[in-house]
């Protein structure tokens, strides 16, 4: 399903998007707050994206985010099951040259609306590493509330929850 807002288009992941996503994943600090994805090879990321492409979209939804005005790649967004839990997690990954421009908030607002109004989810979670202040601020702005701290993949994370 395609989504859009004032400045952005949010479209399901396609094969043609992979080179631009790989470029973003290889940026310095791209995974500063996502330890399981730090210091991985292009092949690792390529395999990860191909698995997402071939996944059942009922379980994994990954989109690309582009500027409406010129179709420039901004980043990715997701609404998917987190690890082996029952939590449905929202998230986005914005290309470094688009940081601090409001694209993450705009993207997550659309994904949250899709999750609650179209998918009819009663709860959506945001899971992020403790030092990721930007994620905390965005989720709080969207009315997510702190739920708990947990350890996933040997990393302590904050779990925030949005309830309908």
- In 3-state terms, what secondary structure has residue 159? strand
Q: 3-163 has which CATH code?
A: 3.40.630.30
pLDDT in tens, 89-115: 999 999 999 999 999 999 999 999 999
pLDDT in tens, 47-63: 999 988 887 666 558 99
pLDDT in tens, 11-30: 999 999 999 999 999 998 99
Long-range (24+ apart) CB contacts under 8 A made by 118-124 are 118/1, 119/79, 121/88, 121/164, 122/163, 122/164, 123/87, 123/88, 123/161, 123/162, 123/163, 123/164, 124/79, 124/88, 124/89, 124/90, 124/161, 124/162
Q: Say what the pTM is.
A: 0.90
**Range 152-157 average pLDDT:** 91
Q: Is the per-residue pLDDT at 123 higher than 60? A: yes
Comparing 126 with 58, which gets the higher pLDDT? Answer: 126
Give the residue extent of every domain in the chain: 3-163
């Amino acid at each position: 399903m395609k989504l859009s807002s004032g400045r952005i288009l949010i479209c399901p992941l396609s094969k043609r998007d992979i080179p631009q996503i790989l470029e973003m994943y290889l940026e310095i600090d791209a995974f500063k707050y996502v330890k399981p994805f730090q210091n991985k090879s292009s092949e690792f990321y390529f395999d990860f994206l191909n698995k997402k492409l071939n996944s059942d979209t009922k379980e994994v939804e990954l989109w690309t985010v582009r500027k409406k005005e010129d179709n420039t790649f901004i980043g990715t967004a997701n609404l998917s099951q987190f690890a082996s839990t029952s939590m449905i997690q929202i998230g986005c990954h914005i290309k470094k040259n688009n940081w601090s421009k409001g694209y993450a908030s705009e993207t997550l607002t659309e994904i949250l609306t899709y999750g609650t109004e179209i998918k009819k989810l009663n709860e959506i979670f945001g899971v992020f590493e403790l030092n990721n202040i930007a994620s905390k601020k965005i989720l709080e702005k969207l009315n997510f509330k702190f739920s708990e701290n947990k350890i996933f993949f040997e990393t302590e994370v904050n779990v925030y929850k949005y309830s309908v």
